[in-house]
Amino acid sequence: MDFDFAVFVNAWATVLSNPWLIVFLFIGVTAGISVGCLPGLTATMGCALLIPFTFGRPPLEGLFMLMGVFAGGIYGGSISSILIRTPGTPAAAATLLDGYPMAQRGQAGKAIGVATVASFVGGTIGALIMTFLSPSIASFGLRFGPAEFFALALFGMSMIIAVSGVSILKGIIAALIGLLVTTIGLDPLSGLPRFTFGSQNLLGGPTFIPVLIGLFGIGQVLRNVEKMEIVHEIQTAVGKILPSLKEMWQVKLTLFKSAVIGTFVGAIPGTGCDIAAFASYVEAKRASKTPEKFGTGHIEGVAASEAGNNACVGGAMIPMLTLGIPGDAVTAVLLGALMVHNYQPGPIFFRENLDIVYPLFAGMILAQSVLLVVGLSFARFFAKLLTFDKRIFTAIIFLLCIIGAYSMQFNSFDVFLALGVGIFAYFLEYYRYPLSPILLAFILGPIAEQNLRRALQISHGDPFTFIDPINHPISLAFVIISILALASMYLRMRKTRLEELKRERDEA
38, 84, 112, 239 from 380: Cα distances, Å: 17, 16, 9, 9
Give residue 454's identity as a one-letter amino acid code: R
Least distance from other proteins to the Cβ atom of residue 14, Å: 25
Least distance from other proteins to the Cβ atom of residue 244, Å: 33
Q: Which is nearer to other proteins, 176 or 376 (CB)?
A: 176
Least distance from other proteins to the Cβ atom of residue 396, Å: 5
Q: Which is nearer to other proteins, 254 or 407 (CB)?
A: 407
- Distance, CA of 65 to CA of 351 (rounded, Å): 24
Which of 34, 37, 35, 23 lies closest to 65 in space, CA to CA? 23
Least distance from other proteins to the Cβ atom of residue 373, Å: 23
- Distance, CA of 468 to CA of 480 (rounded, Å): 12
Q: Which is nearer to other proteins, 16 or 142 (CB)?
A: 142
Which of 209, 182, 201 lies closest to 44 in space, CA to CA? 209
Q: Which is nearer to other proteins, 87 or 326 (CB)?
A: 326
Helix or strand or coil: residue 41? coil
263, 264, 434, 442, 470 from 312: Cα distances, Å: 5, 7, 26, 19, 29
Q: Which is nearer to other proteins, 3 or 55 (CB)?
A: 55
Least distance from other proteins to the Cβ atom of residue 425, Å: 12
Q: Which is nearer to other proteins, 217 or 243 (CB)?
A: 217
Least distance from other proteins to the Cβ atom of residue 70, Å: 13
Least distance from other proteins to the Cβ atom of residue 49, Å: 6
5, 235, 310, 361, 362 from 138: Cα distances, Å: 20, 49, 19, 15, 19
Least distance from other proteins to the Cβ atom of residue 357, Å: 15
Least distance from other proteins to the Cβ atom of residue 207, Å: 8
- Distance, CA of 177 to CA of 194 (rounded, Å): 16
Distance in angstroms between the alpha carbons of the first and the last residue of the chain: 72
Q: Which is nearer to other proteins, 156 or 422 (CB)?
A: 422
Q: Which is nearer to other proteins, 122 or 404 (CB)?
A: 404
Contacts of 236 (CB under 8 A, 6+ apart): 103, 106, 108, 386, 387
Least distance from other proteins to the Cβ atom of residue 491, Å: 16
Other Cβ atoms closer than 10 A to 307 = 37
Q: Which is nearer to other proteins, 228 or 484 (CB)?
A: 228
Q: Which is nearer to other proteins, 116 or 207 (CB)?
A: 207
- Distance, CA of 290 to CA of 238 (rounded, Å): 27
Contacts 24+ apart (CB under 8 A), 135-143: 135/1, 135/322, 135/350, 137/263, 137/264, 137/267, 137/315, 137/318, 138/267, 138/318, 138/319, 138/322, 138/323, 140/264, 140/267, 141/267, 141/268, 141/269, 141/318, 141/319, 141/323, 142/323, 143/474
List of E strands, 157-196: 185-186, 193-194
